[in-house]
A and B are shown apart, each in its own frame.
Chain A
Amino acid sequence: MPRIHLENLVKRYGDFEVLHGINLEMHENEFTVLVGPSGCGKSTTLRMIAGLETVSSGEIFINEKPVSHLEPKARDLAMVFQDYALYPHMNVAKNMSFALRLQRRPKAEIDEKVGAVADMLGLTKFLHRKPGELSGGQRQRVAMGRALTRNAGTFLFDEPLSNLDAKLRGQMRAELALMRQKVRKNMIYVTHDQIEAMTLADRIVVMHGGYIQQQGTPEELFKRPVNKFVAGFLGSPPMNFLDANLEERDGRLFVHGAGFDIALPEDKIAAAKAHNDGALTLGIRPSDLHFNPDAPDESSIDLKVIVSEYIGAQSVLLCACGDQNVEVELKSETPIALGETLRFAVNTEGIHMFDRETEVAIR
């Protein structure tokens, strides 16, 4: 049974439509991540679920109950904000217990809950501090703690890690994953960071331009993106795209372009043939390109190294393929020189094809 269900959700500001009919089902206790570039409508969707934005048309169901006309407080939610949104004049304990105090719960119960959550998040010794007396990471934890103390049915996260520096962000991401194992709740998480999305989500919903592009498990989206946008958005370094044409020779089908001529594997031929005009975009992830000087022509690509970015054990090479750019990863100890042309074997499993006009995946 779906716990949360969005039906044709539309948001308009005046005549300007920012969300164009979102349909989404989230299952019981699922961790759903809405991900997309800024302005894609992910935060608006979350804020509409929270009740902070009005719904222009469509409906939100929580446990089969339409809630779009209910006040936020009637929706049984807790939310973590990007800027933490702590109450600056209350200490940590008061911040965390705010919702419970509004519900006039007995003091003993409040103390117990706050104590337990503070213990879990390592906040016990800060309970009497005010937010202004805490560091960024600690504030983030308090915001999380406030949501947990609330014990609501659904947790909403609006880019909770984006105000932290890189190191702390990695650490908090791990803590979130850990918390996720302890707390079985519906969680909806908005981020623009595809790594957060990939590592935390049970289900990723990729949004762009006010539409859902694709939803599914991180693996599904990574391996079988439905269009060029999703393919390019998930994965780091991102997928390479090359203009290509289909050519049939000696009874085999080749994707041909400036600097490459790759034979398609059996399982992709039917789909490629069905694509009539032959003009397409070839997509290959850096992880599907392996340095191999002896690879045969029909499953390799020759790349001229332009820039080498050393990042430790691996280096990311920016290369030219004809007049297009390709990024590949390479073990740092491989002896290469800038300007040199290297041959990379293509893992044919990892070949993605997209219609050049519509950008829809051909498969």
Chain B
Amino acid sequence: MSVAIKANRLTPYLFLAPAGIILIFALLYPIGYMVYASFLDWSPSQRIGQAEFIGLRNYINLMSDEAFRESFWVTIRFAAVVVTLEMALGVGLALLLDRNIPGMAVLRTVFILPMMIAPIVVGLMWRYMYHPTVGIFNRTLKDMGLEGIPWLSDSTWSFIAVVIADVWQWTPFIFILALAAMQSLPRSALEAAEIDGASEWQKIILIKLPLMMPVLIVTLLLRLIDAFKVLEVILVLTNGGPGLSTEILALRIFRTAQEFQELGEAAAMSNVLLMLLMAITIGMFAYNRVQEARAARQRAIAEKGDD
């Protein structure tokens, strides 16, 4: 092989190198740092080199840590509830609003406003609305002669309160993605279904939703990852309380590092969360890959046998 050809072969790697270097420093290094830190007994007053290496003890401690287990389940429960509600509402709204109504463009913009507000602000806003005496909810309830709800001071209600705030903020995200998916559906297939005798409901259940499924799955995945990491809104609204009723993992990690000064243990928690999200993501991609490979194989056969 001549030198020129060798040089040609190497050229692409040369061009890729800057991106690769940035990737290493911006992505792999911090993650590697975190993984390494999770094996240390490390307090913020120490440099990382002075911290004691304790192997898997942080992870073992986590298993027996009641508070962590509680946080873990709160997180799972929170993610499952908000994502289910948001998917149902977002897709439902998209189905309702996928038509030519005058002023629709304005309406759509209004719908996605909550998404554009900084989470901290969302948290503050809802905290005022949930306020036991001056908040709009309890004032309204009282005006109607009903008793006020202990929004943020009762463990069940505070969970509901954070769920409502999250649903309010993130339903629009699902809504715009679902609407985009819906508007790129093949018109003629829907018309064919109409002629074949499908009612509006049957068109939704049998044609629209199955065809939107790939987009909806990715949307679900994005929301799920985000819901597992939610922090600011809950931090401002309840700070995890009352008790541990709304202390999701991100908040637990934050407090472990900040208040309890256990950097190693916080890193271990982060890793557990990371592994959980990776498992979900890889599972989804693997499923997609299998489906695509099957379709490609069949298409190859079809083209070979074509007239």
Contact = CB atoms under 8 A, between A and B. Distances in A.
Contacts of A103: 197
Contacts of B302: 126, 129, 133-135, 138
Interface in A108-130: 126, 129-130
Interface stretch (B9-17, B95-103, B104-112, B187-195): B187-195
A72 B195 CA distance: 5
Nearest to B187: A85
B295 A130 contact: yes
B194 A72 contact: yes
A126 B197 CA distance: 25
A138 B299 CA distance: 12
A51 B301 CA distance: 38
A71 B191 CA distance: 11
A73 B188 contact: no
Interface residues of B, number: 25
A320 B245 CA distance: 92
A88 B186 contact: yes
A84 B188 CA distance: 8
Contact of B186 (A51, A85, A99, A135): A85
A19 interface: no
A81 B302 CA distance: 22
A102 B299 contact: no
B192 A132 contact: no
Interface string A80-91: 011111111100
Contacts of B191: 50, 52, 72, 79, 81, 85
B194 A52 contact: yes
Contacts of A84: 188
A99 B197 contact: yes
Nearest to A139: B302
Contact of A73 (B196, B298, B301, B303): B196
A147 to B, nearest CB: 9
A77 interface: yes
Contacts of B306: 135, 137-138
A78 B202 CA distance: 18
A98 interface: yes
A168 interface: yes
A103 B198 CA distance: 9
B193 A87 contact: yes
Contacts of A137: 306-307
Contacts of A150: 196
B160 interface: no
Contacts of A73: 194-198
Interface in B232-256: none
B177 interface: no
Contact of A85 (B189, B211, B213, B298): B189
B189 A98 contact: no
A358 interface: no
A-B pairs, 7 with minimum CB distance: A133-B298, A85-B188, A73-B197, A99-B196, A135-B306, A85-B192, A89-B210
